[in-house]
Amino acid sequence: MTSSLSKRYTYYFLLPAGIVYLVFFIFPTVMSLFFSMTWWSLTDWKFIGFDNFKTFLTEDSLNVGFKNTIIYAVVTCGLKVVLGLLLGVFLCTKLKSVGFIRSMVFFPTLLSTIAVGIAFTMMMHPSQGLFNVTLKAMGIIGPDWLGDTKIALLSVALVDVWKGVGIATVIYIAGIMSIPNDYYEALMIDGGNSFHKFWNIILPLSKPAMNSVIILSFIGGLRTFDLIWAMTKGGPGFSTDLIASIIYKQYQGGFYGLSTAGNVILFIVVSALAFPLYAYLNRKEVDL
Amino acid sequence: MNTFKKGISLIFSIILITGLLTGCNSGGKNANGDGGVTLKLLMDNSTNQDGIRAVADAIEKKYNIKTEISTRPGGTEGDNVVKTRLATGDMDDLVFYNSGSLLQALNPAQNFVDLTNEPYMKDITNTFKKTVTVNKKIYGIPGGSSRVGGWLYNKKVYKKLGLSVPKTWKELMANNKKIKAAGKTAVIGTYKDDWTSQLIYLADNYNVMQKDPEFPKKYTEHKATISNSPAALRSFEKLEEVYKKGYMNKDFLATTYDNGLKMLAEGKGAHYPMLSSALTVLNKNYPDKMKDIGIFPQPGDSKNSNGFTTWMPSAFYINKNGSNVEAAKKWVKFFVSSEGLKIFASKDKPEGPFVVKNAKVPKSSYPAVKEMLPYFDSGKTGLALEFISPVKGPSLPQITTEVGSGNKTAKAGAAAYDKDVEKQAKQLGLSGW
């Protein structure tokens, strides 16, 4: 009797968190799965099967988001991984003002994305923006950063990298710092140079840090919305529309069912890409 | 046991406080000390409020009804706010919102007070009433003057280059050629605010109707599409032509609406395809330049097709589920009375003729508005498509940006838009889609 009570007793502690999780996560998730298969006007709904998904995947103005989102996620993730590693290694050396430079690198992360977006939009103005005025002074005619449909997406991706590389750097620094000194001593005894130090010690042993950076920035890239919205709102035309901004636009248009279907698709895409990636990266990790 | 009690009382106080806070929102009568009523009004943040505030002050004096204006964003973002607040039962007493196709999407029968039998309805023009009528019931009163879509032009530039107002599309293009040769921007493009890219397409509806008067009906019933009806496709072709001939400013994709108005006022640009509501903004920023600004309708392919495409004003609707319906009814009644309109027009100059019978455009109106009047007097006006057909796709600004910047042909843009409107028609549950 007493033992069964004490067994149940422990579960009571899970109850508050469990209820919150159920009400604010599980319930909406199940509801959105349901509403993605309906025609929905917030007050009224009609079951229409997979029509919303079909529309989302076949209409050009909607499925352009898949291509753009993948490009955006790969570019931002790749650049953050490489630049973050270089900055991380650089900021782990014995520099005089290393603390100052570290905070400089991290600083953009603290800014509001919307403010960054507006500021860069102004700097990227084709004729009056800081970038092209500077380029002009050097005799180069700068591109129309956000107006040219071929490079607009990359321009936004670059701003994302500028803003997000600080986090990647900090993760790398933590990873590199945790490498025990023994390895460096062994390298010194064997007579290795600094390239060997980087290639044979830092790179393999900061793998866990790199994996976190890859996963975090890749998922972040897939879900980006705020920066795109602040800078281009998906334009010109549809050239910088990501899945997230398209979902928002469908919601604005009053197509609640369709936009919920988009959310479900985004959920599936993120999981389908992130989980295998995570498993793959974890397999390759080395123990310290 | 003591801690148990403490815990319980803590939980109850939290529940109580949250209850109180929610209670505040759904608030009661809003009665203030002197027995008057405070009405809440929700409107977009881009409409000039001077006229509405002046009328509201008069109403306060007369009926002891106060008005509290709160604003929301315009465009699709604002549609969102309105729809969500209606759906959650958190709407203000008075709602200022578009007439025409956008109203249809709000489910007026459920949300707004039916004003069909109000005596003042006989003073309001039928053209307007049609745009706030859903299932034979009238829900709104005009919240301002009508507007037109056309080509704003700088008269100084026209005079300097010896140009005259074009009557056909060909003449307009010839004017553009001369303006470009003179080193000025012929057509101001402001695609950074992408809604402005729609104007050449939207303002062409008068010409579409001249060629194919049945088009809106066939279009609503899905018996015609834009890409397969030459009259409607022509509007997209005009948009394409302006880009192809290089008549726009070089930075048109990075230029904003405000920049565009500046270019027009300063004479750096000669033409700006725009709604006449731009006149109010121009008057605010460049009052001394108003005499230089004129407007002409987007011309058609023949001289016979030369008239304005008009936009009906946004309307005031009364929230059916609000707590002050009676006061709100008094409010709108005063607003459309001749007394109310007079006060309104004294603070808010019309952007086109009024839609209330016997309400004349005052003598002090903008020169551009006076330029419109002959077209109205001779009946050479037609409503924009969104006031005749409930079908309007949400991606139009993006599609016109693509066509207007050479990333899509007119035909491909029209086809993309046909797909876009299909979603809207299905959402509205129209038959034939």
- Report yes or no: A165 and A75 within 8 Å, Cβ to Cβ: no
B215 within a domain of the structure (yes/no): yes
Closest partner CB to B254 (pick from A59, A146, A238): A146
Nearest to A251 among B80, B87, B395 (CB): B80
The minimum CA-CA distance between B394 and chain A, rounded to whole Å, is: 6
Q: Is the pLDDT of residue A155 over 60?
A: yes
Lowest mean pLDDT across A55-64, B253-262, B326-335: A55-64
Whether residue B112 lies inside any domain: the answer is yes
Smallest CA-to-CA distance from B346 within B41, B57, B45, B39 is with: B57
Of A209-213, A284-288, B160-164, B275-279, minimum mean pLDDT range: A284-288
**Can you tell me whether residue A40 is helix, strand or coil?**
strand
How many helices (H) and strands (E) chain B has is answered by: 20, 13
Q: How far is B390 from chain A (nearest CA, A)?
A: 14
Which pLDDT score, from 0 to 100, does residue B325 have? 92
pLDDT at A138: 92
Contact B419 A127 (CB under 8 A): no
How many CB pairs lie under 8 A apart between chains A and B?
A: 90
Say yes or no: B161 and B89 in one domain: no
Superfamily of domain A52-116+156-283, CATH level 4: MetI-like (1.10.3720.10)
The model carries a pTM of: 0.82
Cα separation of B428 and B421, whole Å?
A: 11
Residue B204 identity (one-letter amino acid): D
Of B79, B254, B423, the CB nearest to A125: B254
Residue B11 lies in a domain: no
B139 and B78 in a common domain: yes
Residues B119 and B168 both lie in one domain:
no
Q: Which long-range contacts link A52-55 to residues 24+ away (Cβ below 8 Å)?
A: A52/A257, A52/A258, A52/A260, A52/A261, A53/A261, A53/A264, A53/A265, A55/A258, A55/A261, A55/B423
Considering Cα of B277, then A146, then A58, then A32, what sign does the dihedral take? negative
Region of poorest pLDDT, from A255-269, B29-43, B217-231, B399-413: B29-43
Instruction: Provide the pairing of β-strand B94-97 with B315-318.
Output: antiparallel
Same structural domain for residues B68 and B134?
Answer: yes
CATH code, domain carrying B412: 3.40.190.10
Percent of chain B with pLDDT over 70: 92
B306 and B321, same structural domain? no
CA A187 to chain centre: 36
Give the closest residue to B96 by CA, choosing from B117, B110, B81, B114. B81
Show residues of chain B in contact with A39, CB under 8 Å: 426-427
Q: Where are the domains of chain A?
A: 52-116+156-283
pLDDT in tens, B130-154: 899 988 999 999 998 999 999 999 9
* Across B38-57, average pLDDT: 91
Mean pLDDT within B231-252: 94
What is the structure's pLDDT at A287?
A: 59
What does pLDDT average to over chain A? 89
CA distance linking residue B231 with residue B204, whole number of Å: 10
Residue B24 resides in a domain: no
B175: in domain: yes
pLDDT at B31 over 50: no
Provide, as residue numbers in chain A, all residues whose Cβ is less than 8 Å from the Cβ of B416. Answer: 60-61
Are B251 and A41 a contacting pair at CB < 8 A? Answer: no
B254–A236 CB contact, under 8 Å: no
**In this complex, which of A59, A237, A254 lies closest to B402 when CB atoms are compared?**
A237
Shared-domain flag, residues B320 and B279: no
How many separate domains does chain B show? Answer: 2
Show the tokens assigned to A109.
């992360």
* Set of chain A residues whose Cβ sits within 8 Å of the Cβ of B76: 249, 252-253
Q: Are residues B334 and B397 in the same domain?
A: no
pLDDT at B25 over 60: no
Q: Residue B128 half-sphere exposure, CB side, CA atoms within 13 Å?
A: 26
How many other CB atoms sit within 10 Å of the CB of residue B309? Answer: 26
- Confidence grade of residue B10 (pLDDT, cut at 50, 70, 90): low
φ, ψ of residue B324 in degrees (nearest 5): -125, 45
Confidence of residue B94 (pLDDT cuts 50, 70, 90): very high
Tokens 């904003």 belong to residue: B256
- pLDDT at res. B305: 84
Least confident of A42-56, A166-180, B265-279: A42-56
DSSP string, A103-170: HHHHHHHHS-HHHHHHHHHHHT-TTTSHHHHHHHHTT-----TTTSTTTHHHHHHHHHHHHHHHHHHH
Helix (H), strand (E), coil (C) string for B171-192:
HHHHHHHHHHHCCCEEECCCCC
Q: Residue B259: its pLDDT value, please?
A: 93
Asked whether this complex has an ipTM greater than 0.90, the answer is: no
Q: Are residues B283 and B324 in the same domain?
A: no
Mutate to test the interface with B, among A61, A150, A247 (most CBs of B within 10 A): A61
Alpha-carbon distance A278 to B429, whole Å? 44
Contacts of A233 in chain B (CB under 8 A): 194
Summarize the confidence of residues A133-150 as an average pLDDT. 90
Residue B124 has, within 13 A of its CA and on its CB side, a CA count of 32
Residue A71 pLDDT more than 50?
yes
Q: Are residues B422 and B298 in the same domain?
A: yes
Q: Are residues B319 and B401 in the same domain?
A: no
For A162-196, the pLDDT digits (tens) are 999 999 999 999 999 999 999 999 999 998 888 89
Residue range of the domain that includes B299: 147-311+369-428
The candidate with the shortest Cα–Cα distance to A80, out of A177, A158, A175, is A158
Q: Give me the pLDDT at residue B261, please.
A: 95
The answer to whether residues B314 and B78 touch, using CB atoms and an 8 Å cutoff, is: no
Tell me how close the Cα of B235 comes to any Cα of chain A, in angstroms.
Answer: 18
Q: What confidence score (pLDDT) does residue B16 get?
A: 52
CA-wise closest residue to B384 among B206, B156, B265, B151? B206
**Chain B neighbors of A43, CB-CB under 8 A:** 87, 107, 110
Q: Which amino acid is at A78?
A: G
